[in-house]
Amino acid sequence: MQNYPATLKQDDNGTLLVTFPDFPEAVTYGGDQDSALAEASNSLIAAISARMDDGEDIPAPSKLKSGQTAVTLPPLVAVKAAIYMEMSRQHVSKSELARRLEQNPKQVDRLLEVTHSSRHDQLDKALAALGKRLEVTVSDAA
């Protein structure tokens, strides 16, 4: 759930256009590859946030194809999206999750807000309430 494929294509002005096959609404650009990829991450986060706000599905990442670049979600956003997707899969509303967590529904709203710095223990409890657990792996940098 962490790496989404992106296509970088240079336009006539030398600007790199970034698109995502899994998120047609996520389109951005940058003057060079580094700035384009930084903007790509922001665009991807915004698209996921908008889909969560609108109650829409978040697709699993499609397979990376030749010529595409992987854009990695920040871990906090990836966990929040995973909670949202699991709630959707189980048909658990925000109110029901709040009840399971013995919290106010406003706290669940913050838990799912991608720009809110939720604590890891809160995310763990939400996953546990959905019958899931968080596993973390560390790997060598690319």
Give me the mean pLDDT over the 76-86 stretch. Answer: 95
Is the pLDDT at 52 greater than 90, yes or no?
yes
Q: What is the DSSP letter of 74?
A: P
Delimit the domains of the chain by residue range: 3-72, 75-129
CATH dotted code for 3-72: 3.30.160.250
Is the pLDDT at 136 greater than 90, yes or no?
no
Global model pTM greater than 0.75: yes
Model confidence band, residue 14 (pLDDT cutoffs 50, 70, 90) = confident
pLDDT for the residue 131 = 96
Is the pLDDT at 1 greater than 60, yes or no?
no
Model confidence band, residue 142 (pLDDT cutoffs 50, 70, 90) = low
Query: What is the spatial order of strands in the sheet that 23-30 belongs to?
Result: 23-30, 16-20, 3-10, 68-72
Residue type, 136: V
The answer to whether 2 touches 80, Cβ cutoff 8 Å, is: no
